[in-house]
Amino acid sequence: MKFTCYLGVVALSIAWVTIVASIMLSPWWDVMTGNLSQLGSVERPYSYVYNSGLTIVGILLSIYSVSLIDVTKSRISAFASSIFLIASVHLIGVAVFASEVDVHTFASGEFFLLASLAIFFFGIALLSDGCRKHGGLTMAYFVIGWSGSIFIDFPSNAFLEIYNLILMSFWVVTLTHYCMSRKY
């Protein structure tokens, strides 16, 4: 069961490879004016790279989220895990509904919102379990994510999305480190 702690890192590695590969295959895309979802626009060539990559990432993050149910002794981690599971399903929705603009936009917004709430509640769970280092880092990622999203004037949605994905990556590494350092 301990190997599932690595699924978050594996999923985010696949996400970054997918994003970079999609950008390289899409010379028309501009990080200064676009958003990441444009890489999955079904009318564009190679959209399947982005959409299938996100689907795989969403599935892996779903499994990862379930493995996090008892990351602490607190019931809050089970609640946070449930929120992260729903966020992961929304990520799959981003890829599946790439051509349905309203549904796609909703799924994307919900993914980022729910993922940030999961990070917040995992921070509370870790702090309530006495894990100051991991809990403090987790809460810092949440605060930095929301503060930056609100107060930084990013040139495009792509920059905002990348900013939050970087913070989410740090959080997954922090949580994976915590899971691997626990004694079972």
The model's pTM: 0.93
Q: How many residues does the chain have?
A: 184
What integer is the mean pLDDT of 91-111? Answer: 93
Percent of the chain at pLDDT > 70 equals 98
For the stretch 164-175, pLDDT in tens is 999 999 999 999
The number of distinct structural domains making up the chain is 1
> How many other CB atoms sit within 10 Å of the CB of residue 156?
15
Given the structure tokens 């915590």, which residue do they identify? 178
pLDDT for 2 beyond 80: no
Q: Compare 3 and 42 and report the one with higher pLDDT.
A: 42
Percent of the chain at pLDDT > 90 equals 85
pLDDT of residue 1: 53
What integer is the mean pLDDT of 80-88? Answer: 97
pLDDT for 60 beyond 90: yes
CA–CA separation, 108 vs 112, rounded Å?
Answer: 7
CA–CA separation, 180 vs 184, rounded Å?
Answer: 9
Quickly state the pLDDT bin for 10 (edges 50, 70, 90).
very high
pLDDT of residue 180: 85
Quickly state the pLDDT bin for 183 (edges 50, 70, 90).
low
What integer is the mean pLDDT of 161-165? Answer: 97
For the stretch 110-147, pLDDT in tens is 999 999 999 999 999 999 999 999 999 999 999 999 99
pLDDT of residue 160: 97
> What's the domain range around 102?
2-181
Question: What does the chain look like in DSSP terms, one character per residue?
Answer: -GGGGGHHHHHHHHHHHHHHHHHHT-TT--TTT--GGGGG-TTSTTHHHHHHHHHHHHHHHHHHHHHTTTSSSSHHHHHHHHHHHHHHHHHHHHHHTTT-HHHHHHHHHHHHHHHHHHHHHHHHHHHHTT-HHHHHHHHHHHHHHHHHHHH---SSHHHHHHHHHHHHHHHHHHHHHHHHHS--
Burial 8-31 (b: 16+ CB within 10 A, else e): bbbbbebbbebbeebbeebeebee
Quickly state the pLDDT bin for 182 (edges 50, 70, 90).
confident
pLDDT for 100 beyond 60: yes
